[in-house]
Amino acid sequence: MTTALAVSVGDPSGIGPEIAIAAFLTRAAVAVPAFYLLADPAQIALRARHLGVSLPVQEVTPAQAAAVFGHALPIVPLAARFIDKPGRPDPANAAGTIEAIDRAVAACLAGDAAAVVTCPIAKKPLYDAGFRFPGHTEYLAHLSARHSGIDAMPVMMLAGPGLRTVPVTIHIALAEVPKVLTTELIVATARITAADLAGRFGIAKPRLAIAGLNPHAGEGGSMGLEDEKIVRPAIDILRAEGINASGPLPADTLFHARARAGYDAALCMYHDQALIPAKALAFDEAVNVTLGLPFIRTSPDHGTAFDIAGKGVARPDSLIAALKLARKLADTDTKAAAA
């Protein structure tokens, strides 16, 4: 029996519980791979009743999940309990939110889960409860070091059906980007991207398109010197290492159909340069993938959506895409390890 995917429920006041429920209920129609949910079973049952759906639930261990998935939503119960208040985040739920992530990662590293899929979290209630990491990605890197001793550099990728983008700098103000962006950071990000595209996505010789920072990639230095002094030297280093990297390329012509056919992933210099095209092209199908970790992690590309939580209108499409991609990456990773 194939090892199931471990899904952390995310912030229970958001849409995490209901998109997990919806993904399970559509499992046969859209071939959702087997997963188990790390959650408070009572809160999941309460949310299902609130939504007016019939949901068979069974508490399991990770090893039992795949066998149960055909007839009931497998839930590995958390020690923490949740307050079910759709749309109203509560710091009291922070302990369970973090426990679900911790246990999903531990199960994956122990071989009891094929991959980690995370439902959305909200940072403020976690911060209010004492959480001191900037977000999911940084916390996953911390757990990687704690559980496996590997100091990982996590890299965010947005992966959709026709485009993969990687922001080199992520959650910082636009004014800070030129101060943080370095040749070394671009090179390190590209190395991890190329390695995971080869090892987990099964792309033998990944092609990386490197976007410029400035309009028209600086136009030879007339619109800023960063592209010539920071970005281009990184590309030279990558090419010398045998990585197929091109650029710096103007971002305004990097994402049309013909351009996308020429690369496997686009490295972008800041958050919106990467996420706007990814979400514009495939908002309901794009998946957030964390590269560079010793385990596979995917998540939907949207947030907690507190404004629609509990209303029965949240769509599970992005979570289903995250589950399917996690399964595909896990299977490819297993084949690569066996080769």
Q: What is the mean pLDDT of residues 36-45?
A: 96
Dihedral-angle region of residue 288 (phi above 0 means left; psi in -120 to 50 means alpha; beta otherwise):
beta
Range 246-267 average pLDDT: 97
User: What is the pLDDT at residue 337?
Assistant: 56
Run of H or E including 245? strand 244-249
Asked whether residue 26 falls in the same domain as residue 146, the answer is yes
Q: Quick one: DSSP state of residue 86?
A: T
Backbone angles phi, psi at 14, to 5 degrees: -95, -155
Domain of 201 in residue numbering reads as 155-292
339, pLDDT greater than 60 = no
What are the CA-CA distances from residue 93 to residues 40, 99, 225, 309 (Å)? 10, 10, 47, 15
Task: Note every long-range contact of 235-239, with CB atoms under 8 Å and residues 24 or more positions apart, other chains counting.
Answer: 235/210, 237/183, 237/187, 238/187, 238/190, 238/191, 238/208
CATH number at 16 reads 3.40.718.10
pLDDT of residue 166 exceeding 90: yes
pLDDT, mean over the chain: 93
pLDDT at 13 over 90: yes
* Residue 338 binned pLDDT confidence (cut-offs 50, 70, 90): low
Residues 137 and 229 both lie in one domain: no
Q: What pLDDT is recorded for position 171?
A: 83
Specify the range with the lowest mean pLDDT, choosing from 57-71, 140-154, 255-269: 140-154
Angle (CA) 119 309 288, round 5°: 25
User: Both 34 and 90 in a single domain?
Assistant: yes
Q: What pLDDT does 188 receive?
A: 98
Same domain, 272 and 313: no
Q: Pairing mode, if any, of strands 265-268 and 287-291?
A: unpaired
Residue 194 structure tokens? 């190329």
Give the model's confidence band at 255: pLDDT under 50 very low, under 70 low, under 90 confident, else very high. Answer: very high
DSSP per residue, 258-309: HHHTT-SEEEESSHHHHHHHHHHHHTTT-EEEEESSSS-EEEESS---TTTT
Do 92 and 234 reside in the same domain of the chain?
no
Cα separation of 140 and 154, whole Å? 8
Distance, in Å, from the CA atom of 213 to the CA atom of 246, rounded to the nearest integer, reads: 14
Q: What distance in Å separates the CA atoms of residue 134 and residue 136, rounded to the nearest whole number?
A: 7
Q: Residue 20 CA to chain centroid, in angstroms? A: 16
Claim to verify: residue 215 and residue 143 sit in the same structural domain: no
Percentage of the chain surpassing pLDDT 70?
98
Q: For 144-158, how does the pLDDT look when each residue is reduced to its tens digit (9 = 90+)?
A: 888 778 788 999 999
pLDDT of residue 134 exceeding 90: no
Cα dihedral sign, 254-322-289-84 = positive
Q: What is the model's pLDDT at position 332?
A: 86
Looking at the structure of the chain, the number of domains it has is 2
First-last CA distance in the chain = 21
Output the pLDDT for position 311.
94
Do 147 and 7 share a structural domain? yes
The values of phi and psi at residue 131, to 5°, are: -65, 135
Q: What is the predicted pLDDT for the residue at 221?
A: 87
Same domain membership, residue 176 and residue 108: no
Same domain, residue pair 162 and 209? yes
Q: What does the pLDDT read at residue 334?
A: 58
Bridge-based pairing of strands 297-300 and 287-291 is antiparallel
Same domain, 242 and 318: no
Mean of the pLDDT values across residues 27-56?
95
264 and 321 share a domain?
Answer: no
Rounded CA separation 290/288 (Å): 7
Model confidence at 162, pLDDT cuts 50, 70, 90, reads very high
* 3-class secondary-structure state, position 71: coil
What is the average per-residue pLDDT within 253-270?
Answer: 97
Confidence of residue 336 (pLDDT cuts 50, 70, 90): low
pLDDT tens profile 267-325 = 999 999 999 999 999 888 889 999 999 999 999 988 999 999 999 999 999 999 999 99
The better pLDDT of the pair 221, 147 is held by 221
320 with 241, same domain: the answer is: no
